[in-house]
Amino acid sequence: MVYGWMGSLLEVDLSSGEKKKRAVATDFYETYLGGKGMNARIYYDRIHPEVEPLSPDNLLIISTGVLTGTMVPSANRAIFSFKSPQNRLHMHSAMGGFWPVELKQTGHDSLIIKGQAAKPVYLWIHDDIIELRDAAHLWGKGTYETTQMIRKELNNDKLQVACIGPAGENLCYAASIESSVGASASRGGAGAVMGAKFLKAIAVYGTRDIRLARPHALFEKCEQILAGSGPFQRDMENFSYTMAVLNTLGTGMFGNLNETYPDLSPESLFKQDLDGIVLGFHEWLKKAEGSAACSNCGVKCRTALPLPGGGYAYLKCHLWNAFMVGAKIVDYSFVLECCRLSQDNGLDINAVSRCIAFAIDLYQQGIITKQDTGGMDLRWNDKEVVYSLIHDISLRRGFGRMLAEGVHAAASYICRGAENHAHHIKKLEYVPSAALLYLPYLGLTQAISDKVDISRNVSGPSIAWAGLTTEQRQALVDSPAWIYPKDYERYFLQNFSLDGSDHESGCRFAAYDDETYSIVDSIGLCAYWTVFLMNAPINSRALMAELVSHTTGLDISEDDLTLVGRRALNLVRAINVRSGLQRKDDSLSKIIHKTPPSPFLKPLDPVVFDKWLDRYYELKGWNQEGIPTSQTLQALGLEEVFPALKKMEGAHAHHTNHKN
């Protein structure tokens, strides 16, 4: 009997309408555990490097984690993996909310979508009932209305829906897959992959129980986690405020990375608005009608704000300031409307806000004119411009067609020096707090990322701890908040900093953090509860291994779990190297190396950055071209992967990282 997993994978071919449910081998589960790792293995085996991302041959692979749907707090994630239309590399996106748990309770750990329907359809999964249903009446609808129409049609208010909006239907590269309470799979064009398949939605409702090997032991461990979560709970109460205010004033760079708070003149109306941002935030929160959490999570990290036409928009983290920073508009009603439009159209808020900032910057620089924009006058601090561009991008209409494939592609179409204003990592737009990238540790974690998303590549504790005194560091190392192995203590106590003065400790922490995120994305936990924030209750790999062991009945050690994380990371790296990824792609935009963002930061020295990248590769067991070595792959049981990578060795010239 399999514990923790449901034991089966569902594959749906949209071209033929065929649905196959097949058993998954126990050793496959034990090797990858679920989520990111399981998806990476399926991707490597079945998606050829030459497959076109928007063709029927691309797969949308969705896997829950081994802990997803169990009593473990925050165990509610599914990973969506696919070949990205934006950069033609492996992409994965984590979705929380309630949809992943519901999928698993239908009796399926994983779902593979292939092919292309002849007309719009949606997939309905209710335990063993698996149907492709007509979606012609849903095509063109927003995600809010789509969800309600499907629930009404199936006469079930409890089913969960993951769907695309007009942006996905029109193959916009910023298109997301949206679900309830603001949950989404957002990065790299997930919604465009669904749209290309004419798949409007996936509705799920499950009644199957998840079997646990040691339910009493797991219950006791979860009770201990919850009993010690007080500091974390208190931190989360202020999280939205911290992200909205500090990301805007402290680490935000306004517009298209072309202005910072210290640069603003005292007479600037924008500066005066920023000065009132704290008061404005608290006033705006009074309009909230509560908070929302994902399945089995007592931390309500999303603020529920009522929409004029009914329903709610759910805001957290960067959603509070992405458009505010990008459009230079300090107005929370504007933020709410932008988020409503983005979520309803099915758009990645980080990506689309960056695309709009890029467009306004080009217009203000004179690189594009009204002749390019179809007569639009693109100005900072203009709400109607932003609203119009959100619609135009979603519909690939007018000038929005130019922006629909992201800033890198738009710059290549425009030319005229536009590429100098197109800020991206591996063709994916930055998150709003881009000033963080000027610090070597943080720049490195984003540059090497296989998912450019600050919540999957930055350790919040590491950032916060860098400024501690020697005495404070020692106290931290001796406390339960310390999340690293014993042998990392000396790096932290002696040299750790974010300024580039000690690349050895910085690279070690970056490499360790990356592995931990890979584990989290394979077992189904929320990053907030594990490594991203201070005082996270599930903050050690040993504890995660114990939770997996009690769930499955297997004796999973901390070392075993580390191998799972490394295996997933190296498989994704192998996929991307096989697809043409080179060292030069692990890079940052030129502006990070040239233009000081403020008096508090300095340009990131490319020589320093190259030194960090060299050491990071070495710690990962990759050669200096960023290719996993045969020894590394053999140690992870992936020796069959190496021959494909061997062909790439020597084909890649050694480029310094800063050459973009």
Range 416-444 average pLDDT: 87
Do 630 and 496 fall within a single domain?
A: yes
What percent of the chain shows pLDDT beyond 90?
66
Do 399 and 546 fall within a single domain?
A: no
Specify the pLDDT at position 460.
66
Do 466 and 340 fall within a single domain?
A: no
Specify the pLDDT at position 654.
44
Does residue 628 belong to any structural domain of this protein? yes
Specify the pLDDT at position 656.
39
Range 613-625 average pLDDT: 96
- Residue 616 CA to residue 207 CA, distance in Å, equals 45
Range 58-76 average pLDDT: 98
Do 469 and 585 fall within a single domain?
A: yes
Range 279-305 average pLDDT: 83
Does residue 103 belong to any structural domain of this protein? yes
CB 415 within 8 A of CB 423: no
CATH number of the domain encompassing residue 588:
1.10.599.10
Do 12 and 87 fall within a single domain?
A: yes
Does residue 47 belong to any structural domain of this protein? yes
How does residue 240 score in pLDDT terms, banded at 50, 70 and 90? low
Does residue 3 belong to any structural domain of this protein? no
Q: Of 429, 452, 483, which residue is a domain's last?
A: 429
Question: How many CA atoms, within 13 angstroms, populate the side-chain half-sphere of residue 180?
Answer: 22
Do 422 and 451 fall within a single domain?
A: no
Residue 124 host element (H or E): strand 121-126
Place of tokens 């135009």: 392
**CB atoms closer than 10 angstroms to residue 54:** 18
Q: Output 525 or 442, whichever has higher pLDDT.
A: 525
Q: What is the tens place of the pLDDT at every residue in 564-614?
A: 999 999 999 999 999 999 999 999 998 889 877 666 678 899 999 999 999
- Residue 276 CB partners (closer than 8 Å, separation 6+): 330
Do 606 and 546 fall within a single domain?
A: yes
Residue 523 in tokens: 């077992």
Q: Tell how far CA 63 is from the center of its chain.
A: 15
Does residue 382 belong to any structural domain of this protein? yes
Q: Which domain holds residue 33?
A: 8-205
Q: What is the tens place of the pLDDT at every residue in 367-417?
A: 999 999 999 999 999 999 999 999 999 999 999 999 999 999 999 999 999
Specify the pLDDT at position 629.
96
**pTM of the predicted model over 0.75:** yes
What percent of the chain shows pLDDT beyond 70?
93
Q: Of 373, 405, 429, which residue is a domain's last?
A: 429
Does residue 655 belong to any structural domain of this protein? no
pLDDT > 50? residue 457: yes
Q: Which of 173-177, 178-182, 302-306, 463-467 has the lowest mean pLDDT?
A: 463-467
Helix, strand or coil for residue 464? helix
Q: What is the DSSP string of 29-96?
A: HHHH-SHHHHHHHHHHHH--TT--TTSTTS-EEEEE-TTTTSSSTTB--EEEEEE-TTTSSEEEEEE-
Does residue 659 belong to any structural domain of this protein? no
Q: Rounded mean pLDDT of the chain? A: 91
Does residue 226 belong to any structural domain of this protein? no
CATH number of the domain encompassing residue 100:
3.60.9.10
Number of domains in the chain: 3
Do 135 and 247 fall within a single domain?
A: no
Q: What is the tens place of the pLDDT at every residue in 527-565?
A: 989 987 778 899 899 999 999 999 999 999 999 999 999
Specify the pLDDT at position 94.
94
- Residue 157 CA to residue 618 CA, distance in Å, equals 52
Helix 143-153, helix 332-345: angle, nearest 10: 50
CATH number of the domain encompassing residue 279:
1.10.569.10
Q: Output 259 or 195, whichever has higher pLDDT.
A: 195
- Residue 27 CA to residue 123 CA, distance in Å, equals 29
Do 315 and 353 fall within a single domain?
A: yes
Do 382 and 472 fall within a single domain?
A: no
Q: What is the tens place of the pLDDT at every residue in 633-657?
A: 999 999 999 988 887 765 554 443 4
Do 346 and 455 fall within a single domain?
A: no
pLDDT > 50? residue 20: yes
Specify the pLDDT at position 659.
40
Range 267-272 average pLDDT: 82
Q: Which of 83-92, 126-135, 199-208, 287-296 has the lowest mean pLDDT?
A: 287-296
pLDDT > 70? residue 304: yes
pLDDT > 90? residue 433: no
Q: Of 429, 463, 493, which residue is a domain's last?
A: 429
Do 500 and 448 fall within a single domain?
A: yes
Range 459-474 average pLDDT: 78
pLDDT > 70? residue 151: yes
The DSSP call for residue 622 is B
